[in-house]
Chain A
Amino acid sequence: MTDLLEVRGVSKRFGGLLAVADVSFTLHEGEILGLIGPNGAGKTTLFNVVNGVYKSDGGTITFQGKDITGRSPDQVVHLGLARTHQIVRPLSGMTVIENVIVGACFGREYQSMREARATALEVLERVGLASRADTSARSLTLAAKKRLEVARALAARPKLLLLDEVLAGLNPTEIDLMITLVRSIRDSGISVFMIEHVMQAIMNLSDRIVVLNLGRKIAEAPPAEVVQNADVVEAYLGFPDIVDKLRGAQPQ
């Protein structure tokens, strides 16, 4: 099993606050790696460092054997690493299909407009937005906007997809649909690194989970072990309902 993404000793400081402190982990090709932790643990910050939105204050990030530390987000996409945002960022003035075409045009394959259009149609079909291709992105529901985020990222033909709380704000039906989508993405050969708070979902989806607390990694293991991990339970001790979910969410 090859290592697709290797993060070694990464830190990120904002003024006096150390948001991410000396975090190291590995993501294997073909796996779904979950990222959990209480609020403020530094999960989105870590994502932002990996995909180049923030420059790390130390440490290295290696993707497919190449050092990508300090590269800008647009460079990182061209190498095959795409991401979605926690708070969706559709290109509002453009249509759904135009949004996805942007992803295809400027993604790993630098597709031409014509190729991009074909890719976009295919991807929209996959995420279930094909019927809304020509509607303006602004008019979509939240669930649809989240699927648009995923579609845009997929259109870039990534090897690794970073999903930031893609289930947040969705109702149970929508969550199920999204879970199915994430599984199918992995099955099609794209590795997934996902931040989630919906414990049930992430325990079921992930092959392994990385747990952050106050900027530090406190666990990196399959879900069954993470759930038993004393440090993890303690980190969530202020949130008894999550602890219950952790205890109750034994993976099937």
Chain B
Amino acid sequence: MILRRPLLWAILLLAALFAWLPLRANNVALREDLILVAVAIILTSNLNLMIGYTGYVNFGHIVFYGLGGYVGLYLATVRGWHLVLAALVAGVAVSLLAFLFGIGILRLRGAYFALATIGVLVAVQAFVSNFEPWGRSTGMYVSFDAYAPLGGPRHALWTTYFLIITVMALSLILSLAIKSSKFGLGLFAIREDEDAAIVLGVNATVHKAIIYSVSAFLPAVAGALMFFKNGMIDPSIAFEYMLSLEGIVMLMLGGSGTVAGSALGAGLYERLRSYLLTSPRLSEFHLVIAGALLLLVMRLAPGGLIGWLYRLVPRSREVVE
């Protein structure tokens, strides 16, 4: 029973804290900090479904976020749809597209798949850069009156914040639910030994296509919300390869395969990144530090921080999932 699991309550508590803390003090700066952490958690926990649960490395994960941003922003501004509807449709559209792409590239194993995901990112970016209705390489802007149905820009910022928190909670709960489901068991079997899993009756092709598509949904919704909130989108900011890479660092740092790890890694790394980017001397070394961190984790603690916790306190495995 999912309700009995402590982590579910921890997730709800986390979401409540995120919602309450900036609201109580009407602290906009804190809200802006926390929204970045929330987005990092959304991206990382969904990436965990592919890397941690299924063992398939997705280097181009950010493509779902960016594409969701494009679809959502287009529907909300050019078509004048309500933001929530636009975001949901963006999620559905991007997951369907992911399913189609997935059927193609998921026949590839291991490293080939990883490389193909970079290709998907490059392909989508190239396409969008040349796509007239979405502004080609200039992108699109949100005019101020698009915020009117949400009560004006200031109100809209708070609304999007709460929506993002909801998506964050949903992402974590989704990871938790999959982990203890029969479908999740199939994914783990694929991760351990795909050929043995097939001989045991797991339809690997369908499992992989579904999880790839599922891992696209919430990031796409988040993308729609975020780019709408930020007011603009263009191919270079929507499909930042760097963000994909950082997602991987965050996941490995926290502990691939665990729900708590994805949240922890995202939270810690996001704080580190913010610090680095604002520090005058260290901002140039942001990428170096990320790389060094990943190398250290792979070398010393491939299970990440949560993996390390499991080794220190074996009983924690049951509670901290």
Contact = CB atoms under 8 A, between A and B. Distances in A.
A binds B: yes
Interface of A: 51, 53, 72-74, 77-78, 83, 85, 89, 91-94, 98, 101-103, 105-107, 112-113, 116, 152, 156
B241 interface: no
A53 B189 CA distance: 17
Contact of B198 (A74, A98, A103, A112): A74
Given A53-B199, A106-B201, A91 B193 contact: yes
Given A94-B188, A112-B182, A113-B181, A107 B201 contact: yes
Contacts of B180: 113
B206 to A, nearest CB: 9
Contacts of A106: 186, 189, 200-202
26 contacts: A53-B199, A72-B203, A73-B198, A74-B198, A74-B200, A74-B201, A77-B199, A77-B201, A78-B201, A85-B199, A89-B196, A91-B188, A91-B192, A92-B193, A93-B188, A93-B191, A94-B192, A98-B188, A102-B189, A105-B201, A106-B189, A106-B200, A106-B201, A112-B182, A113-B185, A156-B201
Interface of B: 180-182, 185-186, 188-189, 191-193, 195-204
Contact of A105 (B182, B196, B198): B182
A34 to B, nearest CB: 21
10 tightest A-B contacts by CB? Answer: A106-B201, A77-B201, A91-B192, A89-B196, A73-B199, A74-B201, A102-B189, A74-B203, A73-B198, A106-B202
Contacts of A74: 198-204
A139 to B, nearest CB: 14
B202 to A, nearest CB: 5
B202 A102 contact: yes
Nearest to B184: A113
Contacts of B198: 72-74
